[in-house]
Structure 1
Amino acid sequence: MLTKTNYSDWALLMKVKLRARSLWTAIEKGGETAKEAWEVIATMRIGDDRVKKTSAQNFRRQFDAATFKEGEAVEDYALRLNSMASTLTTLGDKVEETQVVEKIIRSVPQRFRQIVVVITMLLDVSTLTVADLTGRLKAAEDAFEKPPSAMHHDGKLYLTEEEWDARRRKRDAKKTGGGGSSNVTHRGGHGCGRGRGRGSDKGLSSGGLTGNSSRPSGAECRRCGKLGYWARGCRSKPKKE
């Protein structure tokens, strides 16, 4: 639908439709009434020559200054440039497809620089179409896309299944190695401790000495002066003063 701001796109669409129905010649070459009506519409929507020239200059500056927007896809950028070129052509400043191709090559972001160098070295830019260039850039971008990082956006590390298995095997090896022997020693020592405890308690409760090895070997009895037990386990009677 024709509006106050979309004449360029509307005119291009109508031109395609009229050509498909073999009616464009009535506007371009013959049929003065139809031709005049077309020119009237164009003048109403675009303006006279001075207005067209001013608009063309503004669009040309926009076209020359156009760059990739942050996060913009290759196809979207090419479509935006093509729309500007179509508007400039309608305003009388014709833009060839080669100019659009060269503009894309000059303004690609850093991630496409190496790809563009290869394209310009191996292909003839003068015969390259916008669709062909866009397709090559998109294919290269998909082919050389970086693999997903193991580091999540929140800073947490996500390991692969193989890395988890390696960590699990390493942990199990530590348990069955040094950790296992320490457990055996601990259990054995604990059992002996219980045995010694019972024997020692029995010996001490009867008031006599036993051959249990739980007695402190370096202890000295303060009552009789002998080594191997404490004074409370000594059988010697205290000496009278």
Structure 2
Amino acid sequence: MADKETALKAWEAIKTMCQGANHVKKAKVKTMKSEFETLRMKDSDQLDDFCMKLNGLVTNIQALGEGISKSYVVKRFLRAMPNKYLQIISTIDQFRDFDKMTIEEAVGSLKVHEEREMGKMMVEDN
């Protein structure tokens, strides 16, 4: 800025830098939203790890000034689950209101299902 001859030239330089920053911000949001939309949990992934990854993406998108509704995050989270959770996701879909459900409640429901499945397998092994 010190080398700018007039206030107008300095202002134009600042404006150009800010517009560049806005383009970078928009590009980052677009990239993160794309990753959010295509994110899928693999059978080998741990539920907590996947949830942390998803929450990290949502937090980063929101930090850049882009809004995402809680109900949309819950719906996207459930769509990203592998088939082993299909039964509990169907139950959640039938009996829960996504507009009132939090991501923590969705994760809790899946964890309960996971624990029940583990308990069932332990009984069958004995």
TM-score band w.r.t. shorter chain = 0.7 to 0.9
Which among 55, 58, 82 is matched to residue 85 of structure 1? 58
Deviations 1:105-133 (A, max 9, x none): 11111111011111111111111001111
Residues in 1 aligned to 2:42 and 2:65: alpha-carbon distance in whole angstroms: 27
Q: Which has the higher helix share?
A: 2
TM-score normalised by L of structure 2? 0.75
Q: Please give the secondary structure, in 1, of the residue aligned with 2:121.
A: coil
User: Under a length normalisation based on structure 1, what TM-score does the superposition of the two structures give?
Assistant: 0.41
Task: Determine if contact 2:40/2:81 at 8 Å carries over to the other structure.
Answer: yes
The Cα shift of 1:144 comes to 2.1
Question: What is residue 131 of structure 1 aligned with on the other side?
Answer: 104
CA distance in 2, matches of 1:106, 1:55: 23
Match of 2:44 among 71, 78, 86: 71
For the Cα contact (< 8 Å) 2:36–2:54, is it kept in 1? yes
After the TM superposition, which residues 99-110 of structure 1 pair with which residues of structure 2 at under 5 Å, given as runs? 99-110=72-83
CA root-mean-square deviation: 2.0
Aligned residues: 106
- For 1:70 and 1:112, the matched residues in 2 are separated by 10
1:56 to 3, 15, 29: 29
Return 5+ residue gaps in structure 2 as ranges: 1-16
Q: Deviation per CA, 1:149-180, whole angstroms, max 9, x where unpaired? A: 76xxxxxxxxx7xxxxxxxxxxxxxxxxxxxx
Per the alignment, residue 121 of structure 2 pairs with 147
**Larger RCO: 1 or 2 (CA < 8 Å, sep 6+):** 2
Cα deviation per residue 1:57-93 (whole Å; 9 max; x = unaligned)? 1111100010103421222212211110111112222
* 1:123-202 alignment runs, 5 A limit: 123-145=96-118, 146-148=120-122
Which of the pair has more CA radius of gyration?
1
> Percent identity over the alignment?
24
The residue that corresponds to 2:8 in the other structure is none
Given that residues 86 and 95 in structure 1 are in contact (C-alpha distance below 8 angstroms), is that contact kept between their aligned partners in structure 2? no
Secondary structure in structure 2 of the residue aligned to 1:81: helix
Deviations 1:133-156 (A, max 9, x none): 101110011112242476xxxxxx
Structure 1: which 5+ runs fail to align? 1-42, 151-159, 161-241
Give the Cα separation in 2 of the matches to 1:108 and 1:70: 9
* 4+ residue runs over 4 A deviation: none
Other structure's SS at 1:127 match: coil
